[in-house]
Amino acid sequence: MQAFGEWLNGILAHLGYGEIAFLMALESTLVPIPSEVVMIPAGYRAAQGELNPWLATLAGGLGSLGGACFNYLMGRYVGRAFALTYGKYFLVSPRTFADAEALFLRNANLATFVGRFIPGIRHLISIPPGMFGMRLAPFMFLTTLGATLWCGVLVALGYFFGEPVVEAVGKYTHEASVLALLGLLAFVIWFIYKHRNKQNPEATP
């Protein structure tokens, strides 16, 4: 993780629109890059006149969409087949999968939009829409809207509150990356445990 933090800091030292889009694309996959360590420094650079805050926000939103679409396609063409074939080894039966699919599709729009604002969940929220067959057009619209709004909030933090916020983010880049990874693991464990109890109600105390 130390090498990862050094690599990330190297990119942040030369942050431009391309780097913003690239890092936010990674952030929207399973790579533990907190969006805060990308977009807040972008906002600070915008305040210094080195970047345009609107273009920085747009770059972050479009980068997030690119990474989210990758996860969506992975869910559709890999995740679904994997879950249906090997889910039983993770205590996810076909019936449990069907129940989860129906539950998600009833709340797909809200989950896709709100998920863009939740740390840890942002890395995973694009997989269920692909896995459960959400239509691509609304997925892309809601993802772009949510991600761009979130990037705008972070850019504003860096723009208006400046160097102290950026220094705090830079100081804790390594810790933030570790926390993001732990958040992902905690979510996966919670999801498996929840569906295990649902499948075996007698195991619930």
Identify the residue whose tokens are 């305040």: 47
Q: Are 146 and 114 in contact (CB under 8 A)?
A: yes
Give the pLDDT of residue 189. 60
Write 15-19 long-range contacts (CB < 8 A, 24+): 15/41, 15/42, 15/45, 15/51, 16/51, 17/51, 17/55, 17/56, 17/59, 18/59
pLDDT in tens, the chain (205 residues): 455 555 555 666 678 899 999 999 998 887 777 888 889 889 988 988 999 999 999 999 999 999 999 999 998 998 888 777 776 666 667 777 777 778 788 888 988 888 888 776 777 889 889 988 899 999 999 999 999 999 998 999 888 887 666 666 555 555 555 555 555 556 556 555 655 555 555 444 4
Q: Are 44 and 3 in contact (CB under 8 A)?
A: no
Greatest distance between any 2 Cα atoms in the chain: 62
Give the pLDDT of residue 106. 84
Q: Nearest CA to 165 among 177, 155, 175, 174?
A: 155
pTM value? Answer: 0.73
Q: Are 19 and 26 in contact (CB under 8 A)?
A: no
Give the pLDDT of residue 157. 87
User: Which two three-digit tokens encode residue 184?
Assistant: 């992902």
H or E, element range at 54: helix 53-74
Distance CA 5, CA 10 (A): 9
Q: Roughly how many angstroms between the first and final C-alpha of the chain, as a whole number?
A: 38
Give the pLDDT of residue 133. 87
Give the pLDDT of residue 89. 67
Identify the residue whose tokens are 């619209």: 141
